[in-house]
Amino acid sequence: MLDFIYYPVSWILWFWHRAFGFVLGKDNGFAWALAVVFLVFTLRLVLYKPFVKQVRTTKQMQELQPQIKELQKKYKNDRQQMTIEMQKLQKDHGFNPLMGCLPVLLQVPVFLGLFHVLRSFNRTGHGFGQLGLSPELNAQTPNYVFNAADVQSFLTARLFGAPLSAYITEPQAVLDSFAHYGGIPSKVAIAAVSIPLMIIAGLATHFNARASVARQSPEALANPQAAMMNKLALWVFPLGVLVGGPFLPIAILIYWVSNNIWTYAQQHLVFGRMEKEEEEKKAAALERRAANAPKPGAKPVDTRKKPATDTAVDGESDTSQAATNGSKPVAGAKPAGGNKKRSGNRGRANQKKRR
């Protein structure tokens, strides 16, 4: 039913095993382990752009939290209208909530596909219903794109003495079946490889979650639902790796560690670029503000127009001031001395009359 997932996963794993097996040997445990690691890297590289979109969507959602809270408060008694306004807000800002969880959803079938393919190496047939029906290994059954020789190579390969398909709680009857493929592995050897991988995977899960929480806004941290999810990511998920680790094959634990290593590096790369973009935007805004500001010592230009009456009054006062100071009158203004001349002529006329 899920062959459309199993076959692509098998092809990628087959390619990387051929590449590393050419250098290290096809039955080498490290060749198979590196094939699993680079299978993870290949799939995560395909999901890189959706991951970037997820990060930007999460950041945008945090920025919209104040407006979302206002809408929730405003339409708390009208859920239909609240939904309409929420959709309008998301549309106006180009926000798609689905992109916030798409990369995680895409990784689930990949994990299930890899788990199924690896378990099928030492089980009869391909279907989940046949897993565990027989404790005997069936090395003659092809596994999707892997032929019988590839299956035997995988069963023979050991990583520090432990088969990649073995797990701590595996029944002893199944471990005894490895007698024809490199010898019966001990549970001590399996635990010696599995437990460090479990611890590394748990710690990596915790620190990846911590890095993600540290970049959340105060508004997002104050949200009860977000706070609950943060607690799950910080403590429950890492604990789940430790609790479920004894039931997972070594190859799956390698997948988990590789996936967390990629996530850690990818987070720092993407968040670092986003922080750099924010700094560049702030620097550009400061440059524009500095370009529009007046130069030091320069008076700001007054673009306001003065009323006509004010201009006339200013002209008369300027004329009077010029006359008082003995300076040249303003063009068009009557000389102030004209009044003195007329008053002098009247005085002489009055003296002649008296005579």
Helices 102-120 and 48-63 cross at an angle (nearest 10°) of: 140
DSSP letters along 236-278, please? Answer: IHHHHHHHHGGGS-HHHHHHHHHHHHHHHHHHHHHHHHHHHHH
* Eight-class DSSP state of 158: E
Whether residue 132 is predicted with pLDDT greater than 90 in this model: the reply is no
Mean pLDDT over the full length of the chain: 76
Q: What is the mean pLDDT of residues 252-263?
A: 91
pLDDT tens readout for residues 305-325: 555 554 444 544 444 444 444
Of 263, 273, 265, 271, whose CA–CA distance to 216 is shortest? 271
- More confident position, 276 or 336: 276
Is the per-residue pLDDT at 121 higher than 70?
yes
What is the pLDDT averaged over residues 141-167?
88
pTM over 0.75: no
Rounded Cα gap, residues 255 and 240, in angstroms: 15
Q: What residues have CB less than 8 Å from 38, skipping those under 6 apart?
A: 16, 19, 20
Identify the pLDDT of residue 136. 54
Task: Convert the pLDDT of each residue in 25-74 to its tens digit.
Answer: 999 999 999 999 999 999 889 888 877 877 777 777 766 777 777 877 77
* Per-residue pLDDT at 309: 54
Domain-wise residue ranges, the chain: 3-276
For residues 321-346, average pLDDT: 49
Quick one: tokens of 338?
């004209």
Q: With cut-offs at 50, 70 and 90, classify the pLDDT of residue 189.
A: very high
What's the pLDDT score for residue 124? 40
What is the predicted pLDDT for the residue at 313? 46
pLDDT at 210: 87
- DSSP letter assigned to residue 235: I
